[in-house]
Amino acid sequence: MPRHFPAVDGLARQAADAASLVEDPLAALARDIHASMQSQADAYRMLGLLVEATAQVLRIRIPPQRQASTALAIVAMLHHRIRALAGGQEETPGPEL
Protein backbone atom coordinates (compact mmCIF):
# COMPACT_ATOMS: atom_id res chain seq x y z
CA MET A 1 0.00 0.00 0.00
CA PRO A 2 1.44 3.42 -0.97
CA ARG A 3 2.24 5.82 1.82
CA HIS A 4 0.05 8.89 2.18
CA PHE A 5 1.65 12.27 2.90
CA PRO A 6 -0.92 14.95 3.84
CA ALA A 7 1.68 17.72 3.58
CA VAL A 8 2.49 16.74 -0.01
CA ASP A 9 -1.22 16.64 -0.85
CA GLY A 10 -1.59 20.12 0.65
CA LEU A 11 1.32 21.47 -1.40
CA ALA A 12 -0.15 19.93 -4.56
CA ARG A 13 -3.48 21.65 -3.86
CA GLN A 14 -1.72 24.98 -3.25
CA ALA A 15 0.18 24.64 -6.53
CA ALA A 16 -3.03 23.85 -8.41
CA ASP A 17 -4.76 26.85 -6.79
CA ALA A 18 -1.86 29.15 -7.71
CA ALA A 19 -1.85 27.88 -11.31
CA SER A 20 -5.56 28.59 -11.62
CA LEU A 21 -4.92 32.24 -10.74
CA VAL A 22 -2.42 32.77 -13.58
CA GLU A 23 -4.01 34.61 -16.48
CA ASP A 24 -3.94 33.07 -19.94
CA PRO A 25 -1.18 34.96 -21.82
CA LEU A 26 -3.28 35.27 -24.97
CA ALA A 27 -6.20 36.69 -23.00
CA ALA A 28 -3.82 39.21 -21.42
CA LEU A 29 -2.45 40.15 -24.85
CA ALA A 30 -5.96 40.64 -26.26
CA ARG A 31 -6.89 42.79 -23.25
CA ASP A 32 -3.75 44.90 -23.64
CA ILE A 33 -4.34 45.39 -27.37
CA HIS A 34 -7.92 46.45 -26.68
CA ALA A 35 -6.75 48.89 -24.00
CA SER A 36 -4.15 50.31 -26.40
CA MET A 37 -6.85 50.92 -28.99
CA GLN A 38 -8.73 53.01 -26.44
CA SER A 39 -5.61 55.03 -25.56
CA GLN A 40 -3.89 57.94 -27.28
CA ALA A 41 -1.00 55.68 -28.37
CA ASP A 42 0.47 56.59 -31.75
CA ALA A 43 -1.24 54.38 -34.33
CA TYR A 44 1.86 54.00 -36.51
CA ARG A 45 4.03 52.93 -33.59
CA MET A 46 1.33 50.49 -32.51
CA LEU A 47 1.23 48.97 -36.01
CA GLY A 48 5.02 48.73 -36.04
CA LEU A 49 4.97 46.92 -32.73
CA LEU A 50 2.33 44.48 -33.95
CA VAL A 51 4.28 43.81 -37.17
CA GLU A 52 7.46 43.19 -35.14
CA ALA A 53 5.57 40.85 -32.81
CA THR A 54 4.18 38.99 -35.83
CA ALA A 55 7.65 38.63 -37.33
CA GLN A 56 9.06 37.35 -34.03
CA VAL A 57 6.26 34.79 -33.62
CA LEU A 58 6.85 33.59 -37.18
CA ARG A 59 10.60 33.31 -36.67
CA ILE A 60 10.54 31.73 -33.20
CA ARG A 61 7.32 29.73 -32.92
CA ILE A 62 6.56 28.57 -36.48
CA PRO A 63 8.67 25.79 -38.03
CA PRO A 64 10.96 27.13 -40.78
CA GLN A 65 9.27 25.02 -43.48
CA ARG A 66 5.91 26.68 -42.69
CA GLN A 67 7.03 30.29 -42.18
CA ALA A 68 6.50 31.47 -45.77
CA SER A 69 3.03 29.95 -46.13
CA THR A 70 2.04 31.27 -42.70
CA ALA A 71 3.25 34.76 -43.59
CA LEU A 72 1.17 34.66 -46.78
CA ALA A 73 -1.86 33.50 -44.80
CA ILE A 74 -1.38 36.42 -42.38
CA VAL A 75 -1.35 38.89 -45.29
CA ALA A 76 -4.51 37.32 -46.70
CA MET A 77 -6.25 37.42 -43.31
CA LEU A 78 -5.27 41.06 -42.84
CA HIS A 79 -6.65 41.94 -46.28
CA HIS A 80 -9.88 40.07 -45.52
CA ARG A 81 -10.32 41.83 -42.15
CA ILE A 82 -9.68 45.29 -43.61
CA ARG A 83 -12.23 44.66 -46.36
CA ALA A 84 -14.76 43.30 -43.86
CA LEU A 85 -14.30 46.25 -41.50
CA ALA A 86 -14.70 48.66 -44.42
CA GLY A 87 -17.90 46.92 -45.48
CA GLY A 88 -16.35 45.56 -48.67
CA GLN A 89 -17.59 42.56 -50.56
CA GLU A 90 -16.29 39.22 -49.36
CA GLU A 91 -15.79 38.09 -52.99
CA THR A 92 -13.19 40.77 -53.68
CA PRO A 93 -9.91 38.99 -54.39
CA GLY A 94 -7.05 39.60 -52.02
CA PRO A 95 -3.49 40.42 -52.96
CA GLU A 96 -1.62 38.05 -55.24
CA LEU A 97 -0.03 35.50 -52.95
pLDDT tens-place string over residues 23-34: 888 988 999 999
Question: Which sign does the torsion angle of CA 77, 82, 83, 85 carry?
Answer: positive
The DSSP secondary-structure symbol of 89 reads: -
User: Is 19 exposed, middle or buried (CB count within 10 Å of its CB: 0-12, 13-18, 19+)?
Assistant: exposed
**Average pLDDT for the chain:** 85
* The amino acid at 72: L
Confidence band for 1, pLDDT divided at 50, 70 and 90: low
* The amino acid at 66: R
Average pLDDT over residues 16-25: 78
Whether the predicted pLDDT of 84 surpasses 80: yes
